[in-house]
Amino acid sequence: MSVPGVLGPALRARGLRKSFGARVALDGIDLEVPRGVFLTLVGPNGAGKTTLLKILAGLSRPSAGEVWVLGTDPRREGARLRARMGFISHEPYLYADLSAEENLRFFASLYGLRRAEERIDEVLARVDLASRRGDPVRAFSRGMTQRLAIARALLHDPELLLLDEPTTGLDDRAVGILVDLLGAIHDGARTLVLTTHRLDVGLRIADRVAVLAGGRVVHEADARSVDPSAFAPMYASLCGGVP
Amino acid sequence: MTATARAEPPVPSFLGAMIAVIRKDLRLEWRTREVFTATLVFAALVLLTMNFSFEPGQHAVEDMAAGLLWVAFVFAGMLGFSRSLLAEKEGGCLDALYLSPADPGAIFLGKVASNVIFLAVTEAAVLPLFAVLFNYPLGRAFPGVIVAIGLGSVGFVAAGTLFAAISTQMRVREVMLPLLLLPVSVPVLIASVRVTQTALAGHALSGALAWIGLLVLCDALFLVAGMLLFGYVLED
Amino acid sequence: MTETGSKVQDRMDLILSRLRTVAAPLAGLGLLLAAAAILRAPEEEAQGIVQKIFYAHVASAVSSYLSFFITCAASVLYLWKRDRAWDFLALASAEVGVVFCSAVLVSGPFWGKPIWGTWWTWDARLTSTLILWLVYVGYLLLRPFAGEGERGARFAAVVGIVGFVNIPLIHFSVKWLRTLHPKPIVLNAQGPQLPPEMMTTLYITLGAFTLLAITFIAVRAEIERLRDLASAMRRHATKGEAR
């Protein structure tokens, strides 16, 4: 686990608000994630999980409140912060007509990586796609695309990895592979934040779990000490019965 | 393993990011040939339509040649930019580009460069087609024509790339792009047509120096504006 | 205070309301003065009484340039500071600018028909004004189609900046292309060529129209601000009911 005080928390949000015109997506988020921790954010659809992640990634700006990522304000240190962060969305962030390794080669040069070919070999091996490296991404299944997306996000060995509903569209077997992969990536030095509306996945791999409902963090707990059968009904009531 | 400070990760150089984008676009286009075929067919159709629309006598063609060519380039160009930016939006890659440590200005210039290359290929195919359809000898005018069309294309593509990035994120994008792009491109287009006209008539380009100056100024303006503003367009 | 309040907004509200109280009556007075001056001004020999449209025509053009300048400046400030107060100002100025631009486009033909015999000519000034009109109509049309939240404001700001910086280029390219318009009387290299009584009338009209433009912008910006406030209050109200 991370040593508190060596470096500040990986993420800190205070009073974070985001509204889109009349619709309020985030209504005062207070959150702190120490380094090396794997946090799962669970919540019903529309709770604001994607919005929160986008703000943490620096893709969006909050309407109000403060956010620190790896010790800096994402609005300020832009490029250097993004070099230390990886983002996996439910969109693949891949070019369908290029092959797996062509995609990786592009992102490697976009990120200015030096030992590009080595890194590409390493990440492809890690997600078990080395045998399919020359195939166009268009031919990949959803599960394979997701693994390639993780490979892409790992190329630059980020300290912080944000994953937005990575289990979307995956069958149980693919989810299992994903969970194992994430478990292997979670090495104590890397901070991971994952959002999902699947409670079982959320509790299985994470260190901590937070429940997001109505644009607010309504509950936080240590994931390992939570009893899944007790948690589920509490989660359901927190979400007002919305799945 | 404890969380201690690591070595500072690399940030891509401006030129490196730009070249990465260009190579990716070229490779993607080579794989699919979507943009090229669409724009070439479209430009040819525009020329054909104009040919049928009026019976140009030799004098009329001389007066209108530059304008006709640029109408074809403008429509083909707009088609090209929207497809090029749409290809980014489809995989969600607009966000991916913004999330990278690369300077948005570098990404912009990279996309402008690839779009210029695509347009140039179309233009190179359209010119001989034009010469044949309208019975217009291009021979001696050639170097001047290249310069004229080249300078004009750069400015038009720069503005087009910026506005295509905006319109591709909006509803009714097919209407928004011409609506936003054409009025703003007027100076570039006027100047380009004038310089092209001078070149096509076989005159030395030194006779159109003022127009060339204006054209270069327009190019510089759109390139710089695009570099500075592209980041704001990419963010969510 | 609602979420949309901010120090910049408050200060702007104050300035705008002061402007309204001061500028509105002055504008009214100015218009009366201008009307009197125009009626009293000597008739131009060749063109007769129709020439008097010139004063309003030129003053409208200047007012539109002023408005578009304000839009550009407010757009830059919006992109920099992200305070919606600047967005309201940019939108208000753009609308007022388009109105004055339309006035130029309409008064031109009314001036031109008796003199040149045609309603519309593709001469330099009118053409430039038409193009400018199209640019900013695009600016206004862009907002409703931009989708959620602050996207419209952001994209519009980009267009507002590029559009304004383009103005001299439009001006020169069109001018070199055509010259049918009466030789520039005011913006002439040797200085204004008008007889002194006409110059005075022109200055008075310019002053009146400028005050009018400022009044319109101040009012319109306030309307936009109130609209935003109203939807914010609606949000609070519906949330209160939901709880």
Give the model confidence (pLDDT) of C135-144 as tens digits.
999 999 998 8
More confident site: A21 or B188: B188
From CA B136, how far away is CA B59, in angstroms rounded?
11
Tokens representing residue B183 in the block:
């009025």
Cβ atoms of C79 and C28 closer than 8 Å: no
| Nearest CB to A22; choose among C82, C150, C234 | C234
| Chain B environment of A110 (Cβ under 8 Å) | 12, 17, 20-21, 97, 100, 102
CA-CA distance, C61 to C213, in Å (whole number)? 11
Is the pLDDT at A109 greater than 90, yes or no? yes
CATH superfamily of A11-238: P-loop containing nucleotide triphosphate hydrolases (3.40.50.300)
- Closest chain B residue to C173, measured at CA: B187
pTM higher than 0.95: no
| Sign of CA pseudo-dihedral B89, B95, B100, B104 | positive
Query: Do the Cβ atoms of B195 and B135 come closer than 8 Å?
Result: no
pLDDT at B2: 42
Is the pLDDT confidence value at C189 over 60?
no
Query: What sign for the dihedral angle of Cα C114, C117, C119, C120?
Result: negative
CB of A161 closer than 8 Å to CB of A46: no
Give every CB contact of residue C42 below 8 A, 6+ residues apart in sequence.
C195, C197, C198
Tell me the percentage of chain B whose pLDDT exceeds 90.
53
Q: What is the mean pLDDT of residues B114-126?
A: 93
Mean pLDDT of B122-133: 88
For residue A140, name the pLDDT band (cuts at 50, 70, 90).
very high
Count the neighbouring beta carbons within 10 Å of the beta carbon of residue C23: 22
What is the number of alpha carbons within 13 Å of residue B161 lying toward its C-beta?
34
Is the Cβ–Cβ distance between C133 and C102 less than 8 Å?
yes
Q: What is the pLDDT of residue A153?
A: 93
Q: Which residues contact B109 (CB under 8 A, 6 or more apart)?
A: B18, B223, B226, B227
**Conformational region of residue A240, where left means phi above 0, alpha means psi within -120 to 50, and beta covers everything else:** left
β partners of residue A11: A33, A69
Strongest mean pLDDT among A24-38, A47-61, B175-189: B175-189
Pairing status of strand A160-164 against strand A85-88: parallel
Q: What is the pLDDT of residues C61-97, one digit of tens each?
A: 999 999 999 999 999 999 998 888 899 999 999 999 9
Nearest CB to A112 within list B6, B16, B96: B16
What are the pLDDT digits (tens) for B76-88?
A: 999 999 989 998 9
Using a CB-CB cut-off of 8 Å, the residues of chain B touching A59 are: 95, 98-99, 235-236
- C15: which DSSP letter? H
What integer pLDDT is reported at residue A193 of this predicted model? 93
Give the list of residues 6+ apart from residue B58 with CB closer than 8 angstroms, or none. Answer: B135
Q: Is the pLDDT assigned to residue A147 strictly greater than 60?
A: yes
Contacts of B103 in chain A (CB under 8 A): 79
Gap between the Cα atoms of C207 and C211, Å rounded: 6
What is the rounded average pLDDT of the residues A102-120? 92
Give the contacts of A71 (CB within 8 A, at least 6 positions apart).
A7, A8
Asked if pLDDT for residue B177 goes beyond 90, the answer is yes
Q: For residue C149, which residues of chain A lie inside 8 Å, CB to CB?
A: 19-21
Nearest chain B CA: its distance from C83 CA (Å): 15
A69 forms beta bridges with A11, A72
- Whether the per-residue pLDDT at C181 is higher than 60: the answer is no
- Residue owning tokens 């759109």: B222
pLDDT at B4 over 50: no
Phi, psi of A87 (to 5 degrees): -135, 130
- The mean pLDDT of A133-139, rounded to a whole number, is 91
The answer to whether C162 contacts B184, with C-beta atoms less than 8 Å apart, is yes
Minimal C-alpha gap between B22 and chain C (Å): 24
* Confidence bin at C47 (pLDDT 50/70/90): low
Nearest CA in chain C to A17: C3
- Return the closest-CA partner of residue C131 out of C177, C163, C158: C163
pLDDT of residue B56: 60
pLDDT of residue B3: 44
Residue C107 confidence class, pLDDT cut points 50, 70, 90: confident
Residue in B10, C168, B46, C242 with CA at minimum distance from that of residue A108: B10
pLDDT band at B35; cut points 50, 70, 90: confident
Q: What is the CA radius of gyration of chain B?
A: 20
Segments making up each domain of chain A, as ranges? 11-238
The closest alpha carbon to C67, from C39, C48, C87, C94, belongs to C94
∠ CA(B197), CA(B199), CA(B202), 5° rounding? 110
C142 touches chain B (CB under 8 A): yes
**Within the 20-39 window of chain B, which residues sit less than 8 Å (CB to CB) from chain A?**
20-21, 23-24, 27-28, 31-32
pLDDT, tens digit, 9 for 90 and up, residues A183-240: 888 888 899 999 988 778 878 888 888 888 888 888 888 877 777 777 777 777 776 6
Note the ipTM here.
0.88
List all residues 6 or more positions away from A72 whose beta carbon is below 8 Å from its beta carbon: A80, A81
Give the whole-angstrom CA distance, residue A165 versus residue A175.
Answer: 11
Cβ contact, residue pair A19, C82, below 8 Å: no
Contact A98 B31 (CB under 8 A): yes
Whether residue A47 contacts residue A211, with contact meaning beta carbons closer than 8 Å, is answered with: no
pLDDT reported for residue B172: 87
Tokens 């070919």, residue? A117
Q: Write the pLDDT tens digit of every residue in C13-22.
A: 888 888 888 8
Tell me what percent of the residues of chain B surpass a pLDDT of 70: 93
Q: Are B233 and B166 in contact (CB under 8 A)?
A: yes
